[in-house]
Structure 1
């Protein structure tokens, strides 16, 4: 099956938000599961990652991913990581041509950044915790250190869980209100004492407040399209044992 890759004209470098279509995995992981941390067969995951690398026109060792931990931590990459343990971080920045940065998600926001003129790119994993703790701003700051300027940086949020599918409890709302009372605008009332959180609008607001040139969302909800996207929350609601991970990639 052919790979299904979403792109944005806002990013004038090679990139792709890969859907689950076109992979070698089966069962609940059916399709392009790129998560080595899942319980999927390692051979299938490696084959899927190889297909992604080929689509990005790089060798598999040139496809860099990190051990994501829902942090605001960013690493600067000056070359391939090799076979050692991956650093714990949730964003990567590079100026190295031919090095593809890959972020894994299954509802959280995959965010790809580029200042094509300066030759600086980045990729970030921004779930609610990472976004609240500043991973998006930290990524932009590291891009600036690497030579980018805010007025040239474009950022695109890929397939993520939308507000209609993101139900949270009152303690979740309180955490955001404690950080900034204005965060109440990202919540609407749900059923009972529940709320629905607009993660994407929250991410876009923080990106734009950081002063970059452009920020947008591709408009795709992971939860509501099971044929195209993996979703952690959907897997929980369906009592599935595990779930696949989507990959978003960018390279110079």
Structure 2
């Protein structure tokens, strides 16, 4: 099956793409384009999937991904890490051609950034913890340190769990309202003492509050689209022992 990355005109012409589970070689619970090295999938299949994902966006580039820890840590790449080295953190930025930045998700929000004029790009893994802690703010600061101008930076929020699929408890809501009472607007009442959280809208808000005026939110629900995306929460609800991860990519051509 051909891999057709989801793209946005906002990031064009910089090579980028939000990929799902179509076009890979994994089978079983990980069926499709599972790129998660931490999943219980065949490692050779995962490596083949990562190669296919790279070639669908920037053939021949050096793919760099993170050991993601749900933090607000942004890693700046001036040179490519050694093979199989994954820096620890939840965002990557670079100004070096030939590097392809990859963020893995399975319900969390992937965010791709670019200042095309400066030749600076970024990619962030914004789960609720990282989003609340400021991973997008850290990405922007790291891009500025490489010469990006916040007034020129554009961002796109890729496939993530949607509000209709994301039920949380009162303690979860309290974390967000403790940080800012106005955050209550990102929650909708559900069953008793539960709420539905709009992760995509919250990430878009954080970007806007940081001064990013051009943001694309792609509105793709990973939980609801079983055949198209991997979902940690869906796998958990089904009591499945493992789950796949999709990848979002952005790179600078040589």
Report the TM-score when normalising by structure 1: 0.97
- Runs of 5+ unmatched residues, structure 1: none
Which residue of 1 is the match for residue 50 of structure 2? Answer: 49
Distance 1:182 1:93 in 2: 30
The equivalences for 1:79-158 within 5 A come to: 79-83=79-83, 85-158=85-158
What is the root-mean-square deviation in Å for CA atoms of aligned residues? 1.0
Report the TM-score when normalising by structure 2: 0.97
Distance 1:217 1:181 in 2: 24
- Runs of 5+ unmatched residues, structure 2: none
Q: How many residues matched?
A: 251
1:247 to partner: Cα distance: 0.1
Which residue of 1 is the match for residue 178 of structure 2? Answer: 178
Which residue of 2 is the match for residue 15 of structure 1? Answer: 16
1:119 to partner: Cα distance: 0.2
Distance 2:84 2:251 in 1: 22
Moved more, 215-224 or 103-112: 215-224
1:213 to partner: Cα distance: 3.3
| Kept in 1: contact 2:5–2:57 (CA 8 A) | no
Distance 1:235 1:14 in 2: 31
Q: After TM superposition, which residue ranges in structure 1, 4 or more long, deviate above 6 angstroms? A: none
SS in structure 1 of the partner of residue 240 of structure 2: coil
1:84 to partner: Cα distance: 5.5
Q: In the alignment, is residue 169 of structure 1 matched against residue 174 of structure 2?
A: no
1:250 to partner: Cα distance: 0.2
Which residue of 2 is the match for residue 200 of structure 1? Answer: 200
Distance 2:132 2:236 in 1: 23
SS in structure 2 of the partner of residue 16 of structure 1: strand
